[in-house]
Amino acid sequence: MYLFGEKVWVEYLVVTLLVCISGNYAFNFFGHPRAVLVIVAFLFCALLLIRQTPFFSARFCFAITSFAGILVVQSILFSFFPTITIAGFLARMFIGYAAFPLVRNFPRVYINVLSGIVILSLCFYIPEQVCRTFGVDFRSFFHLLKNAPEARADLHLIVHNFHLDSAPYRNASFFWEPGAFAGYLLLALIFLGLEKEQFKVRPYWTRISVLYVGLLSTFSTTGYIVLPLALLLHFRLDGRTKAVAIKSFMLFYMLALSVESITYRSVVGGGSMKEKIVTQYTDALYRGGGRHRNRFDNLVADTQYIGKRPILGWGLNRKTRYMLHRGREYGSGHGEGLTDFIAKFGFTGLGIFTLCAWMGFMQLSGQNLLMSTFTTLLILLMLNGECFLNFPLFLGLMFLEERQSQL
């Protein structure tokens, strides 16, 4: 029985909280994220008890047992047991899991929450860009409200982050950088593509337009590359003739890609994306990796770790994770999230995540093998942009659609 009754706001609270602890510095309790994990874990436990929902599903037991096993084996091999680090990871996994049985239709609620976040971000982003055009420093109006000391280079409010980098035209919303915002928006667009039939025509087009505009405002390289692929999930025949459906979708698809290309070229400049990728790749290739200078730098460094321990990885704690780079500058929050996760858990850990996520997308897509496999590959491609698997929301993708077996 669903004891929350018609209190839909509880579901929106759960999803909003999950998004915030997965990307909003203000929810790190000023540099104390462990406290947030404990509080949210206990809150979700209480909600599960109130709802009389089983705490553990078969897939959750499989995933958490498998990752705990990897971590224990790593501890034995390295003769080093980082209790707090391991507990933190398992807590993030539990939080990511618990959100799904607590929300009756997680993809739909997540889409709505991200649409709201886009609208909120535009309330800051648009005035900032207009003021910048006229030489007015819009950010200076909020200096006294600066939050989150760990984001020292940024002007971070609770509801928005004025990301202070070399590209002030990029929108980060309240996430740690625009690329992170793009990743969460791509996930919403993926859910919207899979759940398209659950929306009426006008609400559907409203949401895809809002999410699309929000993603364009990030000017994220990974976001712009993955966007055309994510839009392919939105193709449906919808009872029309095949020729009409294909023509209609191709018109929408080409228009979306044209707007994306024009937007990027008009603001960033033609060829900038290509030059950025080539420059970073060349620098990493000839100078070696591990200095946290760009994504390819980190990729080169990660491949060294993967090559030496490809099966089980090097663990989560910095003492073992960066063992090959002691005495050298190497960032723990670098952008190459896919190889970072493989370096931590080996291909065994990546296989567990991929299998569980694929099973969830199979349920969400109505056992559509092609669509679920394509979606899982998109998620892995997105991980090349940021270390999303450091946070509960993306870890929770392993437990997508767990709600169906518990309602």
- Domain presence at residue 356: no
Q: Are 52 and 1 in contact (CB under 8 A)?
A: yes
Q: With respect to residue 161, please indicate whether it lies within any of the assigned structural domains.
A: yes
Beta bridge partners of 147: 156
> Are residues 227 and 189 in contact, defined by beta-carbon separation less than 8 angstroms?
yes
* Total tally of structural domains belonging to the chain: 1
What's the pLDDT band for 277 if we cut at 50, 70, 90? Answer: low
Q: Is the pLDDT of residue 214 over 50?
A: yes
Instruction: Report whether 63 contacts 362 (CB < 8 A).
Output: no
Give the pLDDT of residue 350.
97
The percent of residues in the chain predicted with pLDDT above 70, rounded, is 83
- pTM (2 d.p.): 0.89
Q: Are 58 and 355 in contact (CB under 8 A)?
A: no
For 212, the token pair is 């699309």
Instruction: Give the Cα separation of 306 and 321 in Å (integer).
Output: 11
Cα gap 402→103, rounded to integer Å: 10
**C-alpha distances out from residue 70 to 56, 229, 282, 311, 359, Å:** 20, 33, 35, 10, 21
What mean pLDDT do residues 97-106 have? 92
pLDDT of residue 275: 56
Instruction: Tell me if 114 is assigned to some domain.
Output: yes
Distance CA 145, CA 163 (A): 15
pLDDT tens by residue, 339-368:
999 999 999 999 999 999 999 999 999 899
Q: With bands split at pLDDT 50, 70 and 90, how would you rate the model's confidence at 290? A: very low
> Which structural domain, as residue segments, surrounds residue 237?
108-267
Q: How many alpha carbons fall within 13 Å on the CB side of residue 127? A: 13
Q: What is the pLDDT of residue 243?
A: 83
Instruction: Specify the pLDDT at position 156.
Output: 74
Q: What is the mean pLDDT of the chain?
A: 85
Average pLDDT over residues 132-156: 70
Measuring CA to CA, how many Å separate 16 from each of 11, 117, 174, 287, 365?
9, 9, 12, 42, 24
pLDDT-derived band of residue 300, with 50, 70 and 90 as boundaries?
confident
Q: What is the pLDDT, as a whole number, of residue 55?
A: 73
Mean pLDDT of 259-281: 68
Residue 93: closest CA among 127, 70, 74, 111: 70
At 13-43, the pLDDT tens digits run 999 999 999 988 788 755 667 888 999 999 9
| CA 339/CA 360 separation, integer angstroms | 23
Residue 218 DSSP one-character state: T
Q: Are 152 and 192 in contact, with CB atoms under 8 Å apart?
A: no
- Least confidently predicted of 84-98, 218-232, 269-283, 293-307: 269-283
Q: Are 233 and 364 in contact (CB under 8 A)?
A: no
Is 380 among the domain residues? Answer: no
Q: Is residue 370 part of a domain?
A: no
- Per-residue pLDDT averaged across 111-120, rounded? 97
Give the pLDDT of residue 286.
47
The token pair that represents 272 in the structure block: 């900038």
For residue 225, pLDDT beyond 90: yes
Token pair 């090559």 in the structure block, residue:
307
pLDDT exceeds 80 at position 330: no
Q: What is the pLDDT of residues 169-202, one digit of tens each?
A: 899 999 988 999 999 999 999 999 999 988 999 9
Give pLDDT, residue 3. Answer: 44
**How many whole angstroms separate alpha carbon 17 and alpha carbon 24?**
10
Q: Is the pLDDT of residue 333 over 50?
A: no
Question: Is residue 247 domain-resident?
Answer: yes
Q: What is the DSSP letter of 353?
A: H
Per the CB < 8 A criterion, the answer to whether 299 and 336 are in contact is: yes
Q: Are 98 and 42 in contact (CB under 8 A)?
A: no
Would you call 384 helix, strand, or coil by DSSP? coil
Which residues fall within 8 angstroms of residue 326, CB to CB, at 6 or more apart?
none
In a domain, 224, yes or no: yes
**Domain annotation covers residue 319:** no
Does residue 383 contact residue 186 with C-beta atoms inside 8 Å? no
